[in-house]
């Protein structure tokens, strides 16, 4: 009986350095705001060239785990912005051939409970931003791209009002993938604007009143309305989402 073994994966040195740094960041040995040692010191500790360290730091910086602040040569540990994290997940969903129907169906499952939690946990300080986002959507009558951005912003702010980072990060990739088809729908169905405005007002009032059931019910109606709008606009929900993602 012959035994076969998988090939041993040989990683570049910079990737091993990056992995070691990530482990320290994830286990909180390095916390948000901490400065890393200088590149020369990191190279000494890891036993590698300075260029290897620089490549590892560049990779972590592009992933939002490090940043170089003005006036300092040393890298600082930072939290990745939710939009950057979500964009990576959205891109992965696109590569798995996600369809507009998949996105819509996922939103029907996730958004009503998020609105319910937001109504229960929102702070008074959450309300002005929600109201302002709704007003910006009303004001942007002639700019579809900006109007769609404000719809997504309204969803994001409801997620933020839950004060649950896991819910916020779970929601954002789907909202990013919603935007392309939503833009087409708003452009083709004039009455869609009025229906979105109405839904946002109802949702705002429910959150303001801490009406959890009302928030859940209106969000469910809001998401169902999108599907009806897609159908009227002739958007094929079974087509893959292929439009470029918005920048974070």
Domain positions in the chain: 13-77, 82-233
Q: Is 210 left (phi over 0), alpha (psi -120 to 50) or beta?
A: left
Instruction: Note whether 176 and 87 are within 8 A (CB).
Output: yes
pLDDT of residue 245: 46
Q: Which contiguous run of DSSP H or E holds residue 23?
A: helix 13-26
Cα separation, 96 vs 92, whole angstroms: 6
Query: Which residue has 């939290």 as its token pair?
Result: 79
Instruction: Note whether 168 and 162 are within 8 A (CB).
Output: yes
Query: Which residue has 């785990």 as its token pair?
Result: 65
Does the domain made of 13-77 have the CATH classification 3.40.50.261?
A: no
For residue 220, what are the contacts with CB-CB under 8 A and spacing of at least 6?
A: 108, 111, 112
The answer to whether the 13-77 and 82-233 domains have the same CATH topology is no
Collapsing DSSP states into helix, strand and coil, what is residue 160? helix
Torsion of CA 124, 129, 130, 135, to 10 degrees: 130
Instruction: Note whether 123 and 154 are within 8 A (CB).
Output: no
Please report the DSSP string for 115-130 in residue order: HHHHHHH--GGGHHHH
pLDDT of residue 235: 83
pLDDT of residue 1: 60
For residue 102, what are the contacts with CB-CB under 8 A and spacing of at least 6?
A: none
Instruction: Note whether 86 and 248 are within 8 A (CB).
Output: yes
Cα separation, 203 vs 212, whole angstroms: 10
Q: What is the pTM of this model?
A: 0.78
Give 153's DSSP letter. Answer: H
Cα separation, 213 vs 84, whole angstroms: 32
Cα separation, 215 vs 218, whole angstroms: 5
- The pLDDT tens digits along the chain (248 residues) read 678 887 777 889 999 999 999 999 999 999 999 999 999 999 999 999 999 999 999 999 988 899 988 877 889 999 888 777 778 888 888 888 888 899 999 999 999 999 999 999 999 999 999 999 999 999 887 788 889 999 999 999 999 999 999 999 889 899 888 888 888 888 888 889 999 999 999 999 999 999 999 999 999 999 999 999 988 888 888 888 865 544 44
Does the domain made of 82-233 have the CATH classification 2.60.40.10?
A: no
Cα separation, 121 vs 207, whole angstroms: 9
């Amino acid at each position: 009986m012959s035994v076969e073994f998988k090939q041993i994966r040989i990683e570049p040195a910079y990737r091993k350095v990056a992995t070691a740094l990530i482990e320290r960041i994830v286990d909180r040995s390095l916390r948000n705001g901490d400065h890393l040692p200088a590149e020369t010191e990191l190279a000494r500790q890891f036993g590698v060239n300075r260029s290897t360290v620089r490549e590892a730091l560049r990779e972590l910086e592009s992933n939002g785990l490090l940043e170089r602040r003005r006036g300092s040569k040393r890298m600082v540990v930072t939290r990745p912005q939710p939009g950057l994290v979500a964009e990576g997940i959205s891109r992965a969903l696109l590569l798995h051939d996600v369809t507009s129907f998949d996105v819509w169906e996922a939103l029907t499952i996730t958004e009503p409970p998020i609105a319910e939690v937001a109504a229960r946990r929102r702070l008074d300080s959450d309300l002005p931003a929600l109201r302002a986002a709704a007003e910006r959507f009303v004001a942007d009558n002639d700019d579809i791209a900006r109007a769609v951005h404000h719809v997504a912003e309204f969803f994001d702010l409801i997620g933020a009002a839950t004060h649950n980072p896991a819910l916020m990060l779970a929601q954002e990739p789907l909202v990013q993938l919603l935007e392309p088809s939503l833009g087409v729908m708003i452009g083709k169905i004039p009455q869609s604007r009025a229906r979105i405005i109405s839904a946002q007002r109802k949702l705002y009032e429910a959150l303001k009143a801490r009406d959890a059931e009302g928030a859940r019910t209106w969000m469910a109606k809001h998401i169902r309305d999108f599907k009806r709008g897609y159908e009227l606009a002739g958007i094929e929900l079974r087509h893959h989402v292929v439009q470029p993602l918005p920048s974070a």
